[in-house]
Amino acid sequence: MFKAIGSSICAVALVGSLAACGGDGWEKMSIDGATISFEMPKPIKMNQDPKEGMVVYVAQKTNEKLSFKVGVVKRNYEQDQAKGLTDEQVLSTFAQKVLQASQQQFAQMGMKTQFNFNGGFNVDGGSGQQFQGQVGKAVVLNRFYINKLGIYWVEAITQDPNNADINRFLNSFKP
């Protein structure tokens, strides 16, 4: 459903933890202290949830009914190891918390959703899980990644799963 597409090459200029990308209305993000990078359409808003320690980057293309999110949580890998927790256990617990919060938000808007597990996968230095749900006419795709430095949440919402911008965003994320 979500197909891989070719990515455009752009000049990258680092400014703090932000790398700007070309004149096509997208920005390439690199986060200080994390290994991740991704692209989103501008403007990008950043919010921090002090309770969960998650920083969330959000962008929308409201005229196209598209939403993009990336959440970043610093991980204490040594503490997880000392507790005997595997990456998969830590990632599954995190994913369930995020998905439950999403379900509650949609329910408050009068829309129910159920997220289905689409499978796990390996990524460089870690692993990932994918879930998909339906909210009204929109498809909600959630991907979760884990490595020794952090736990990451990537969400795309669209009414058109073949939309090039959604595919560009999803394919740009590198944990």
Per-residue pLDDT of the chain (175 residues; tens, 9 = 90+): 333 222 222 222 222 334 444 568 999 999 877 789 999 999 999 999 777 789 999 999 999 999 999 999 999 999 999 999 999 999 999 999 999 999 999 999 999 899 999 999 999 889 999 999 999 999 999 999 999 999 999 999 999 989 999 999 999 999 9
Decide if 174 is inside a domain: no
CA dihedral 76, 74, 92, 88 (to 10 degrees): -50
Q: How many domains does the chain have?
A: 1
* Residue that the structure tokens 């590198």 belong to: 174
Decide if 24 is inside a domain: no
Cβ neighbours of residue 107 closer than 8 Å, sequence gap 6 or more:
none
CATH number for the domain spanning 118: value is: 3.10.129
Q: Which two tokens stand for residue 68?
A: 């993009």
Decide if 64 is inside a domain: yes
Give 172's Cβ-side CA count (13 Å radius).
Answer: 26
Decide if 38 is inside a domain: no
**Domain that includes residue 105, residue range:** 45-162
Decide if 32 is inside a domain: no
CB atoms within 10 A of CB 135: 17
Decide if 67 is inside a domain: yes
Greatest Cα pair distance, the chain, in angstroms, is 48
CB 111 within 8 A of CB 136: yes
> d(Cα 170, Cα 154) in Å, to the nearest integer?
8
Pairing of strands 116-123, 150-158: unpaired
Q: What is the reported pTM?
A: 0.84
Q: What is the pLDDT of residues 38-74, one digit of tens each?
A: 999 999 999 997 777 899 999 999 999 999 999 999 9
Decide if 68 is inside a domain: yes
Position 23 scores a pLDDT of 65
Decide if 151 is inside a domain: yes
Q: Which residue in 89, 92, 115 sits closest to 102, CA to CA? A: 115
Q: Which two tokens stand for residue 139?
A: 């498809």
Position 56 scores a pLDDT of 95
